[in-house]
Structure 1
């Protein structure tokens, strides 16, 4: 089982973009995620082809399981 944090932002051009972090810790809180997203925007850490990240849109944790099949 693998958990990935997906943080979605709106760019200066109004386009959606996302940043993914694999193997996120079990006890991550919405407040921690919101703070990280604010810091990313404030520090202008990432710039996309559609401009700077300007607004938080949403965030989710995607839980993926892999099942091996005997073939």
Structure 2
């Protein structure tokens, strides 16, 4: 099972940018994620197509299960 934290931001040009963090800590809280996301916006760390991130859109934990098939 693989866990990813997806943080989605709104950009100045009306689009959405998603940042993904693999294997976030198990007990991460919504408040911690919101704080990190706001810090990313405030510090102007990332741009998408030259446009700044302007607001928080959404955050979610995505769980993925992969089962490999043994081919004969």
- Which residue of 1 is the match for residue 20 of structure 2? 20
Partner SS for 2:20: strand
- TM-score normalised by L of structure 1: 0.93
RMSD, matched Cα: 1.0
Equivalent residues, number: 71
- Moved beyond 6 Å, runs of 4+: none
Deviation at 1:66, TM superposition (A): 1.2
Unaligned stretches of 5+ in structure 2? none
Deviation at 1:16, TM superposition (A): 1.0
Q: Please give the alpha-carbon distance, in whole angstroms, between the structure 2 residues aligned to 1:70 and 1:13.
A: 46
Higher-Rg member (1/2): 2
Unaligned stretches of 5+ in structure 1? none
Deviation at 1:21, TM superposition (A): 0.6
Q: C-alpha deviations, 1:4-37, integer Å up to 9, x for none? A: 0000110011111110011111111100000000
